[in-house]
Amino acid sequence: MLHGALALVGAWYTARKSITIICDFYSLIRLHFIPRLVSRADLIKQYGRWAVVSGATDGIGKAYAEELASRGLSIVLISQNEEKLHKLSKTLAQTYKVETEIIVADFSNGRGIYLLIREALQDKDIGILVNNVGVFYPYPQYFTQVSEDKLWDIIDVNIAAASLMVHIVLPGMVSRKKGAIVNISSGSCCKPTPQMTAYSASKAYLDHFSRALQYEYASKGIFVQSLIPFSVATHMKGHSFLHGFSWLVPSPKVYAHHAIATLGISKRTTGYWFHSIQFLFAQYMPEWLWAWGANIINNSVRHEALSHRL
């Protein structure tokens, strides 16, 4: 009798896990491959004419701005580098025949910059907000080795910037009953990540912030997406030993091209097909195993970075 009950429980557990895995892989195919077989969504009609991208002059932010411009959206570019902003603004306007505006802002300067941003955006119908701006450690470090200035930058840029930018543009979206917010988190938010403690925690904040916003505002016509990339070939992440595998570590351009296709479809996604496979493994992985693997990888990255400084 006991053996029969245990066998039944085992069969139920196996069937449940199998169905979950099958559903997860079906979702991966539906999200990353099926949309490429149909025509692209009209983002202007769906959300509005203007998009705002923070951290827009490098990496994912720049590539995302280019993708949005290629779809006809007018772009407000925000970054602290005025020269790069002017250059990108001119390129987008000439290449895609769209309107562009720039806002020079250093999000690490704290609360004072948001009055300037609010005034610059107040007369625009913002349809899409992409919160991309972020700071990373110079290399993986134990928490007490991270400078106090860097910790404040992580708080001001990775946490406060997205929160305040949403607070600025969301009321207009609600009044128009449409809009999209993309908060770019990180694969390190999946589980506690040693040697990236403050950074991964800040990205976990963005993930939870996005998911809660979606519950609050979906009924008002607002789509909020938590975008969770793993390694992308940007200057922010130093996993140089992975950069030889372009399918594993895509360029910002390739990543943005894939990620923007998930807008309006998935509320929480990595944005890229292979990253979604990594995310699935992370979801099923015990926390201790994640932490063990992260320590090994981050030790390697730290040693490599320090050796280059000698």
The tokens for 44 are 């202007």
Dmax (CA) of the chain: 76
Burial class (CB in 10 A: 0-12, 13-18, 19+), 308: exposed
Strands 74-79 and 222-227: unpaired
Residue with tokens 């990543």: 255
- Strands across the sheet with 74-79, in order? 100-104, 74-79, 50-54, 126-131, 179-184, 222-227, 268-269
| 132 three-state secondary structure | coil
Of the candidates 129, 123, 63, 117, the one whose C-alpha atom is nearest the C-alpha of residue 92 is: 63
Q: What does the alpha-carbon distance between residue 61 and residue 78 come to, in Å, rounded to a whole number?
A: 10
73 backbone dihedrals φ, ψ, rounded to 5°: -80, 145
Give the containing element (helix H, strand E) for 276: helix 273-284
Which residues lie closer than 8 Å to 97 by C-beta, 6 or more apart? none
Strand partners, 32: none
- Known catalytic residues? 199
Q: What does the alpha-carbon distance between residue 182 and residue 189 come to, in Å, rounded to a whole number?
A: 16
